[in-house]
Structure 1
C-alpha cells in the first residue's frame, strides 16, 4: 500500500537519544590512542602522528554522520531511498575538487611524491568488484533489522571483520591469477590519459555527479521511499560528540580529511591494503612464506610486509580510523555484544569473506577503489562502482528468491 503522508518532518522528541558513555572503555581507548601516537612518532616523526590523528578524525566522522560506504547501494535496491546517494555525490564532488590542485601541483607536506589511487583495468577488477558487492549485500543486507542494532549488530560485525580479514589474505594469494595471468589493460587517468586535462576531467565528473543527483530526485518523486531511520541525537554542542550529524556535513568532512591524507602521505585513503597486510603478517608469524606471493611486488607493498607494522603509513592511518570509531562508540554507549542466531553469524562471515576477497583482487573497496579512486580520476574506479552495484542487485534478487531479505 502506498503511503501518502509526508515523511519529511519529524519532531525532535521522536528521535532516539544516545546512551550513557562507557567511561572505562573510553579511558582505555584514549590510552591506546596516546600509545600509538607515541609509536607513530618514534616510527616517522610528525608525519605519522598527523596521519594517525587524521585517521582518528575520519573514524569519528564516519560514526557521527552514520556515513555508509556500503549501505548506499543497499538502500537504493531495498527501499529506493537515494538520500545517501546524493550525499555520496556531494562527497565525491568535493573530494574531486580538492584533489585537482594536489595532483596538478604535486602538493605534499613531507616531500612525498603525490600519486592518485589509479589501478589497472583487469578481469580481477570486474569480477572482484562484483563479488564485493554481492558479499556486501549478503553480509549486511540479508539479515533481520536486529543486525544493525547496538546489540546483535556488534557481534555480527565481528564475524564480518574476521571474514573480511581472511578473504583479503586469500585474495592476495590469488591476486596474480586474476590480474597478471588473465587479460588486463594499464591504468587510465581521465585527466592525463584522455587529453581532457584536470579541469576537463573535473568538468566531466562534476556533470556526472550533478546528473546522478537530479535523477535521484526524480526517482524519489516517483518512488516516494521512506526516510532513513532516526538516529541517536543530543542537544546543543553535545550533538558534535554524542549526536548524529547531517549527511552533508559528514560528506564534506570526509572529503576534506581524505585530501589531508593525500597531502600528508602522498596518496589518498585506502583501507583494504591494511587488512591484507595485517592478515598476511599473522600468517608469516605462523611460518607461511607469504612474501612469495606476487601481490606484494605488483602492489609495491613488499617493504610493508617485511618492516614493522608502525612503519606502514596505510596501517597507521587505519589504526586511527578504527580507534576513532571505537571512541565514538564508547562515548555513545554502543559497545555491546549479544548472542545472535547461527545463520546470521554465517551470513556475516560469508559476506565478509566475499568482501575481503573481492576488494583485494579488484584493487580496493568502497574507500580505495571508489572514494579515492573516483576523486583521483581513475577509470577503474567507475568500472568498480558499476560492477559493485550489479553485485548488490544480484545478491538482493537471490535473497528474495530464497526469502532471506529483511522484512
Structure 2
C-alpha cells in the first residue's frame, strides 16, 4: 500500500465506548452544576476537538512546516480561518449577539513584558520539543506517548507561570490593553478592513513564495474509504479553517467570550497544587487574571474547563475511532524534550495571556493589539529554536 493510500486502523470500539460514557458523565455534571448553557459549551468543544483532528489546524504545525520545509499551504489556511472568524466576531460585537443576555467580550489583554517574553518562550518550546499540536495527533513519534509528556509539561508550566504572573505583567514595564476597533479611530469597520488586508497580503505573499521556491507537498495523511472519509479522513484545509472559525464564533455567542485554552490548564494545575497542600490563592495570577473563588468551586462551574473538556473528549473519541489510542516506548531524549517543550509552552502561555488559541486565534479575531505582538514574538521563538537545532545538530 502506497503512502498516499494509508488507512487508519480499525476502530477501538471498547475504548471509544469508555470515552463516550465519560463524555456523557461530564455533560451531565455540567448540566447539574451549571445548566444547559454549559452542556452546549461542552458540545461545541466536542466538535472543535473533532475538527482539530481532521483539519491539520494548529499554530505549531503551520509554522513548523514553514521554517522546516518552507511549506506555506497551511499558512494560507490560517488566513482563511482569520478572515472568517474576524468577520463573524465583528458581526457579533457590533450587534451584541449573545445567548441568555450575555454581552460578547473579546480576548483583549494588555501589552506587557510578559506578552513579549512569554510568547517567545512559547514559540521556542513549541519548535524545540512539542508534540502537542493538533496536526500531530495522528503522526506523533512514539505513538501518543510523547504527546502525554508534552501535555503534562504544559500543565506544569501553566501552573508555575501563575506563580510568576505578577512579576512579568505588573512589576516589569507594562502598558494598557488596546483594541484596534474600540481604542483607535479605526472603529470596527476600519479595524476589520485593516486586518482583512493583512490576511490577504500574507496569503498572496505565501502563494508567490510557494511558486518561487516549489517546496514539497504536505506529508500525506491517513484517510478513510467511502463514507468513512468524513469520520477518518483529512479534510481540505479550507474546510477545517471555516469550521474552526465558525465554532469559535459559536463559543463567543454562548459564553460571551472566545475560546481560550491555557486558562483551563492553569485552573486544573492550581487545583492539583491546592490538593497537595500548596496555597495557589497566594499566587499573583489568582485575583489579577482570574477570580480566586474559581479555586474552591467545582470545575463544572468553570466555563473554560467545561469547554475544553469537550475539546479533549472530541479529540479522544475521534482518535479511538481511527484506532490511534496506542502508546509505545520512547527514548529518554524524546521524553525529556517533549516534557521540556510542553513546560516552556505552558509557562510562556500563562504569562502572555494565552497560547495559540486564546492569544493568537481569539486575540487577533478580537482586534487586540497584544495578539499581533504575541504572534510576532512566538514566530520569532520558532525561528530561533529551529536555528539552534540546526546549529547544534539537535535531532528530534
- TM-score interval, smaller chain: over 0.9
Residue 210 (structure 2) aligns with: 220
C-alpha separation between the residues in 2 aligned to 1:55 and 1:192? 29
Q: 1:49 to 1:148 in 2, by over 3 A?
A: closer
Matched, 1:316 2:285: no
**Residue 15 (structure 1) shift:** 2.8
Q: Corresponding residue for 2:91?
A: 101
Any idea what SS the aligned residue of 2:144 has? helix
- Using a 3 Å threshold, how does the CA distance of structure 1 residues 151 and 358 change in structure 2: closer, same or farther? closer
Are 1:246 and 2:236 counterparts? yes
Q: What's the CA shift for 1:147?
A: 10
Mean CA deviation greater in 298-307 or 132-141: 298-307
- In 2, are the aligned partners of 1:130 and 1:388 still within 8 Å (CA)? yes
Quote the residue 1:347 is aligned against: 337
Matches within 5 A, 1:84-163: 84-140=74-130, 149=139, 152-163=142-153
Does structure 2 conserve the Cα–Cα contact (< 8 Å) formed by 1:129 and 1:384? Answer: yes
Secondary structure at 1:152's aligned position in 2?
coil
Question: Quick one: which of 70, 74, 85 aligns to 2:64?
Answer: 74
8 Å CA contact retained: 2:130, 2:342: no
TM-score normalised according to structure 2 size: 0.96
Could you tell me how far apart the structure 2 residues matched to 1:347 and 1:13 are?
A: 28
Displacement of 1:302 in angstroms is: 1.9
Cα separation, 2, equivalents of 1:138 and 1:130: 12
Shift of 1:153: 3.7
CA contact (8 A) 1:19 1:334 kept: yes
Describe how 1:6-405 pairs up with structure 2 within 5 A.
14-140=4-130, 149=139, 152-405=142-395
The answer to whether the 8 A contact 1:74-1:137 is kept is: yes
* Larger mean Cα displacement after TM superposition, 149-158 or 226-235: 149-158
Runs of 4+ in 1 over 6 A off after TM superposition: none
RMSD: 1.6
> What SS does structure 1 have at the residue aligned with 2:362?
helix
Return the alpha-carbon distance in structure 2 between the equivalents of residues 360 and 179 of structure 1.
11
Which structure 2 residue ranges, 5 or more long, are not aligned? none
In 1: Cα distance, 2:190 partner to 2:277 partner: 51
* Contact kept in structure 2, 1:191 and 1:197, CA below 8 Å: yes
Q: Is the 8 A contact 2:138 2:324 kept in 1?
A: no
| Structure 1 gap ranges (5+) | 1-10
Superposition deviation, residue 148 in structure 1: 6.8
TM-score, with length taken from structure 1: 0.94
State whether residues 67 and 250 of structure 1, in contact with CA within 8 Å, keep that contact through their aligned partners in structure 2. yes
Match of 1:8 in 2: none
Q: Is the 8 A contact 2:92 2:253 kept in 1?
A: yes
